[in-house]
Copies of this chain bind each other. A is one copy, B any other.
């Protein structure tokens, strides 16, 4: 009931071979839901008093303990000029300075896609959903667990394009380990730019690669200089309290080019932060404030997102754990802290530690997705496809999670209290002991009344048994296959596609392959 409907667009026919599909390309459209605009309140778990303690403590951390900007004399100069005390590589930030610097960052901004229908608003009441980021392995039912390749990467981009509840094509959906480490970013960007028309992320593993990302955007968007945010990129803090020159170098490139960054403490609680929720939130806030303040020193007004990627540690094995109560509490608290800074917030995702797409994976994932929805997340990376603590991108989990993202859309739409929503005529018509299936209100509303799954099984037991007693992983594998068969590349000016291919080929030729 009350579910948001995906943006209605013309659908391609379901049949036809490669030639028929190519002929269809100019008319084919794929459904994509608009970015979630929450029509429900956020869940504020922590009291104002608790948040004030955390904020005061974070200022103490920045001033007394300080943060390290490593191998980055220019950053130290910037901090010194802004009024911080720099001792060696340690930056001690006077109380209030970081928060003050963060004030020039926008409360929300638009990331532009090559298809304007796919532009996403990041901040405020919005929730943008992006796929898994970073796994070196992939897994599917057929092939099991194996190193990811560029072919896998392309398949994920296609699945993301075909997923109606996913707003974003993401970044390193998996690590294409069959391409040299100094060149794979070129192939990945080309794939996002040509196989999808949704917005995407830039490379951050080297400032040079960030510059390549900017250059390729200039080609794609046909601009001499980028005029607005076309990319959002993930800048992880090296927790605790350390900002390395690779990540900061990428941030500098992007901020100077007016491109968006997520500044994200990356914390396994108990190892990279204290073993308590309040202590971890204090460190998250200190790190986010320092990183965001630095982005504003590079370029005041640069679009930036307050990130918090926090898990806890299993004290027996040392493994990171996901979907835990501690992670949920930190997510809720971090969201409140970000909102008090009037900044967009990134956290959550379909996070899990399980090796398989089994019940453990789904409990952990769903715990995180629910907390992220109610906790006010604006940009959710890893929203689908994440498995085994982020080591694995799973094809089946990608489509199952993507289906659950429809649940988030519908909850966020809230409750319809219009006269039609009140349905008093239906209650009067049916009365005690009757049933509603045939009544006028049901007939008028049933099509859009309920969220509908594309994967889950609701069949009668006997039918399900006759069809082979398939588990949800089996059903998801069939869905993957179906989506890839239906995939048709979105149209792109061949001159642009050619220029991108040329840029990639040229840059690849300029240096030898590097691995590892």
CA separation between A274 and B472, bound complex, in Å? 30
Write the nearest CB–CB distance from A373 to chain B, whole angstroms: 10
**At the interface, yes or no: A149 with Cβ under 8 Å from chain B?**
no
Which of B46, B274, B433, B471 is in CB contact (< 8 Å) with A356? B471
* CB pair A276 B451 closer than 8 Å: no
Nearest to A52 among chain B residues (CB) is B417
Contact of A271 among B424, B437, B473 (CB under 8 A): B437
Interface stretch of the complex, out of A21-29, A56-64, A295-303, A489-497 = A56-64
B273 and A436: CB pair below 8 A?
yes
Q: Which of B40, B278, B414 contacts A422 (CB 8 A)?
A: B278
- In the bound complex, CA of A275 to CA of B319 (Å): 45
Q: Is the pair B461, A355 in contact by a Cβ cutoff of 8 Å?
A: yes
Q: Does A67 contact B (CB under 8 A)?
A: yes
Contact with B along A355-379 (1 / 0, CB 8 A): 1111111111111001100100000
- Taking a contact as CB atoms closer than 8 A, the residue among B271, B435, B473 that contacts A358 in the complex is B473
Residues of A404-430 whose CB lies within 8 A of B: 404, 407-411, 414-417, 420-424, 426-428, 430
Residues of B within 8 A of A430 (CB): 240
How many Å lie between the Cα of A241 and that of B426 in the bound state? 13
Smallest distance from the beta carbon of A236 to chain B beta carbons, Å?
A: 14
User: Knowing A44-B41, A316-B458, A458-B317 touch, does A277 contact B354 (C-beta < 8 A)?
Assistant: no
Known: A325-B411, A329-B415. A423 touches B460 (CB 8 A): no
Residue in B65, B283, B363, B459 whose CB lies within 8 Å of A319? B459
Q: Does A512 lie at the interface of the complex (its beta carbon under 8 Å from any beta carbon of B)?
A: no
B324 and A449 contact, CB distance less than 8 A: no
**A94, CB-defined interface residue at 8 Å:** no
Give bound CA distance, A3 to B326, whole Å: 8
Q: Evaluate contact between B242 and A432: CB separation under 8 angstroms.
A: yes
Q: Does A66 contact B (CB under 8 A)?
A: yes
Q: Are the CB atoms of B68 and A433 closer together than 8 Å?
A: yes
Known: A324-B407, A365-B363. A275 touches B449 (CB 8 A): yes
Q: Which residues of B contact A400 (CB under 8 A)?
A: 359-360, 363
- Docked-complex contact A315 and B450, CB < 8 angstroms: yes
Contacting pair B356 A241 (CB below 8 A): no
By beta carbon, the residue of chain B nearest A144 is B469
Pair A359/B427 contact, Cβ less than 8 Å: no
A317: which of B323, B435, B459 is its contact (CB, 8 Å)?
B459
- CB neighbors of B among A263-289 (8 A): 269-280, 282-283
What is the interface size of chain A, counting residues whose CB is below 8 A from a CB of the partner?
A: 126
Q: A400-B363, A417-B50, A472-B358 are in contact. Are A65 and B431 (CB under 8 A)?
A: yes
Shortest C-beta distance, A183 to chain B (Å), equals 28
How far, in Å, is A362 (CB) from chain B's closest CB?
3
Residues of B within 8 A of A410 (CB): 324-326
Quick check: A428 and B276 within 8 Å, CB to CB? no
| Interface bits A308-333 vs B (CB < 8 Å: 1, else 0) | 00001111110101011110110001
**Assembled-state Cα–Cα distance A468/B437 (Å):** 48
Q: Is A110 positioned at the interface, with any CB of B under 8 Å from its CB?
A: no
> What is the interface of chain A, defined by CB distance below 8 A to chain B?
1-3, 40-41, 43-46, 49-50, 53, 57, 60-61, 64-68, 90, 145, 238, 240-242, 269-280, 282-283, 312-317, 319, 321, 323-326, 328-329, 333, 353-367, 370-371, 374, 388, 391, 397, 400, 404, 407-411, 414-417, 420-424, 426-428, 430-437, 441-442, 445-447, 449-452, 455-461, 464, 469, 471-473, 475-476
Interface contacts beyond A66-B432, A68-B433, A355-B469: sample of 4 additional A-B pairs, CB < 8 Å, sorted by A: A45-B414, A271-B437, A328-B411, A356-B469
